[in-house]
Amino acid sequence: MNYKLTLEYDGSKFSGWQIQNNARTVQGELQRAADELFGAATDVQGAGRTDAGVHALGQVAHIKVRDARRKVAPEKLMADLNDALPSSIAVVECELAPEKFHARHDAASRTYFYQISTRKAALSKKYTWWIKQPLDVKAMQAAAELIVGRHNFVRFCAPDPSRPGEPTTVVVDSAEVGIDGHMVVFRIEASHFLWKMVRRLTGTLVKIGLGEITLDQLKSLLAGKKDPKLDIASWTAPSAGLFLESVRY
C-alpha cells in the first residue's frame, strides 16, 4: 500500500527534513512513527527537503508499506501517526495513493513563502525575520517580478554535497511580494529549488528594499554573472521566516 500524507510542522527544533545521522529531523520522526505502526518494511519520502529551522504548512510525503496484510484505513493511520509524532509535527491529511506515486518525483511545483516583520513581534518571533530599517516594498515588488522565468540561480545557491553537479537553471512560475499587516511576505513557486536559494533571494530582496543594491545588479545576478563586490552568501535570510506552503501535482 501507498499512503499520501500532508504535514505541517514547526521546524525550529529540527535539523531539517532529511534523515541524518545523530540529528533530529522531520523525516526521521515520521519514519520512526511509521516503523512503529507497520514494522521496519516502510519507505518514507517527502516532496521538499526543507533546511534546518524551516517550517511547513503543506509538506507532502508518502509512506509505502511493503506488507499488504498491514493495511489500515487512512483516517486511522492519520490518528495513529499523530499520536506517535511529537507535538511539533501534525498530519493534516491522509489518503491512499497509487502504488507508483512518489511525493518528490511526481511533484510539479513547490510554493514557499517568507515572512519579514517590519516591527518587533513578541508572538511570531520564531516565524519571522525582523528588519528594523524601513523597506521600499515597491522596489522589492519590482525585483520579485524579475525573478519569474528561467534563470541561472548559481549566485543564489550553496553547493549541495548530496547532489554534486546539480544544474543551477530553474524555472520560476511565480514570485511576488505582498503586505499582510506588519508583515512583508515573499512568495515563490517553482518546479524545484536549489539549496538555500529562497533564503538568498529573500536576503537580496531585503537589500533592494534597503536601497543597498539596484534592480540592474539583480538582473546581472539572475544571468549568473559574478560580482566580487556582492557577498550574496552573507545575505542569506534566517531560516525562521521560511515556510513550505504547498506542493502541486
pLDDT tens-digit map of 24-59: 999 999 999 999 999 877 899 999 999 999 999 999
Q: Which residue type occupies 155?
A: R
Residue 235 · residue 206 · CB < 8 Å? yes
CA 43, distance to chain mean position in Å, is 21
Residue 138 DSSP symbol:
H
29 and 9 Cβ atoms separated by less than 8 Å: no
Cβ–Cβ contacts within 10 Å for residue 153, how many? 22
- Report pLDDT for 241: 98
Cell, residue 64: 509505502
In the chain, which segments carry CATH 3.30.70.580? 2-96
What is the model's pLDDT at position 135?
98
Is the pLDDT score of 141 beyond 80? yes
Confidence of residue 67 (pLDDT cuts 50, 70, 90): confident
Q: How confident is the model at residue 69 (pLDDT cuts 50, 70, 90)?
A: low
**Single-letter amino acid, residue 156:** F
Provide the grid cell at 39: 514494522
Where do the CATH 3.30.70.660 domains begin and end in the chain?
109-248
Q: How many CB atoms lie within 10 A of CB 122?
A: 5
Model pTM score: 0.94
Confidence of residue 161 (pLDDT cuts 50, 70, 90): low
User: Looking at the predicted structure, is the pLDDT value of residue 165 above 90?
Assistant: no
So which residues are the catalytic ones? 51
Q: State residue 240's pLDDT score.
A: 95
Return d(Cα 139, Cα 150) in angstroms, integer: 21
pLDDT at 115 over 70: yes
Residue 14 has pLDDT above 90, yes or no: yes
pLDDT tens for residues 178-204?
999 999 999 999 999 999 999 999 999
Q: Which helix (H) or strand (E) holds 174?
A: strand 169-180
CATH code reported for the domain at 109-248 = 3.30.70.660
SS3 100: coil
Tell me the CB-side half-sphere exposure of residue 218, using CA atoms within 13 A: 25
Q: What per-residue confidence (pLDDT) applies to 89?
A: 98
Fold observed for domain 2-96: Alpha-Beta Plaits (3.30.70)
Residue 144 pLDDT greater than 80, yes or no:
yes
Name the residue type at position 195. W
